[in-house]
Amino acid sequence: MSSDIILEVDNLAVEFATFGGSVQAVRDVSFKLHKGTTLAIVGESGCGKSVTVQTLVGLIPMPPGRITAGSARLRGEELLGLSSDQLNRYRGKRIGMIFQDAMSALNPTMTIGDQIAETLLVHMGMSAAAARQEVIALLSQVQIPEPERRMRQYPFEFSGGMLQRAMIALSIACQPEVLIADEPTTALDVTIQAQILQLLESLQRSRGLSIILITHDLGVVARMAHEVAVMYAGQIVEQGSVDDIFYRSAHPYTLGLKAAMPGKTAQKAELHEIPGSPPDLFAPPAGCGFHARCPHVMQLCESKAPPLFGAAHQARCWLHHAQAPTHPLRQQLLATTGNGSC
Interface map 33-62 toward another protein (x if CB under 8 A) = -----------xx-----------------
Q: Which is nearer to another protein, 197 or 212 (CB)?
A: 197
Tell me how far, at minimum, the Cβ of 311 lies from another protein, in Å.
Answer: 21
User: Does residue 335 touch another protein according to CB under 8 A?
Assistant: no
Q: Which stretch binds another protein (CB under 8 A): 6-14, 16-24, 269-277, 295-303?
A: 269-277
The CB-side HSE value for 152 (13 A sphere, CA atoms) comes to: 3
Q: Judged by CB under 8 A, which stretch of 2-10, 80-88, 219-227, 294-302 contacts another protein?
A: 219-227
Selected range binding another protein among 8-16, 68-76, 86-94, 159-167, rule: CB under 8 A: 159-167
Q: Indicate which single residue of 178, 218, 250, 329 sits in contact with another protein (rule: CB under 8 A).
A: 218
How many angstroms separate the Cα of 139 from the Cα of each of 84, 144, 151, 201?
29, 6, 8, 16
* Site stretch for another protein (CB under 8 A), options 6-14, 61-69, 183-191, 297-305: 183-191
- Work out how close the CB of 55 gets to another protein at its nearest, in angstroms, rounded to a whole number: 22
Closest approach of Cβ 112 to another protein, in Å? 17
Binding part of the chain for another protein, among 11-19, 77-85, 102-110, 264-272 by CB under 8 A, reads 264-272
195 binds another protein (CB under 8 A): yes
Which x/- pattern over 234-263 shows residues binding another protein (rule: CB under 8 A)? --------xx--xx--------xxxxxxxx
296 binds another protein (CB under 8 A): no
| Cα–Cα distance for residue pair 175/258, rounded to 1 Å | 36
> At closest approach, how far in Å is the CB of 216 from another protein?
6
Provide, rounded to whole angstroms, the least separation between the CB of residue 106 and another protein.
18
Residues found near another protein in the complex (CB under 8 A) = 44-45, 159, 161-162, 189-195, 197-198, 216-223, 225, 242-243, 246-247, 256-264, 266, 268, 271-275, 277
